[in-house]
Chains A and B, each alone.
Chain A
Amino acid sequence: GDSVTQMEGPVTLSEEAFLTINCTYTATGYPSLFWYVQYPGEGLQLLLKATKADDKGSNKGFEATYRKETTSFHLEKGSVQVSDSAVYFCALSDRGGSEKLVFGKGTKLTVNP
């Protein structure tokens, strides 16, 4: 079945450091790929998404490119801030939209001032 594997955490960075959180997937067909973020005490929020190969999703300085050849969707940000501290989830859906998301385990990011 479909699955998502993402980088084990926790990840601790200093402010303005470069962030990469790796995510790879296994799916039949051509899934849509998502990154969700969960800030402390809040529900998951969609951060960005890509629906086809070579698409780049971006939001709030974060980017991820849908790489079909490597089945990856790595999350990157050039300069993290303390406010980026959260848990990040990579997810896929083979239904086109957000239906029946399959999530990775989540990666906790802590950014220190």
Chain B
Amino acid sequence: GAVVSQHPSWVICKSGTSVKIECRSLDFQATTMFWYRQFPKKSLMLMATSNEGSKATYEQGVEKDKFLINHASLTLSTLTVTSAHPEDSSFYICSADWTPGGTGELFFGEGSRLTVL
């Protein structure tokens, strides 16, 4: 199946710094990418939907200025956690879909674990 890769797989940073997580579709063009956040023993929570070349659509309660999402090309979307704080520590997962609007099968990255000290 199609491959989606996230980088880094884990990152530790100091409070107040910004961290960028990349999500790449390796063998297909992803018109739509989704970013999720997973807390321990909780379900994946959709944070935002990004479409190539346009602004991301954020879910209710997700701070746009805190979690910057860029989908500059059909194979790359980035999530930047700005001025990270310990409560931002979490497992972030991206998924990608090659169909416009994200109506096909999703392919998921391995996830990126962020720990903010």
Contact = CB atoms under 8 A, between A and B. Distances in A.
Interface of A: 4, 36, 38, 41-46, 89, 95-106
A103 B106 CA distance: 13
A89 B42 CA distance: 11
Contacts of B108: 36, 38, 43-45
A73 to B, nearest CB: 15
Contact of B102 (A43, A89, A97, A106): A97
Contacts of B102: 97-100
Contacts, number: 60
Contacts of B1: 45
Interface of B: 1, 4, 6, 32, 34, 36, 41-44, 46, 49, 93, 95, 97, 99, 101-111
Given A43-B110, A44-B108, A98 B97 contact: yes
A100 B110 contact: no
B52 to A, nearest CB: 15
Contact of B4 (A38, A43, A95, A98): A43
Contact of B104 (A44, A98, A104): A98
Nearest to A9: B41
B43 A4 contact: yes
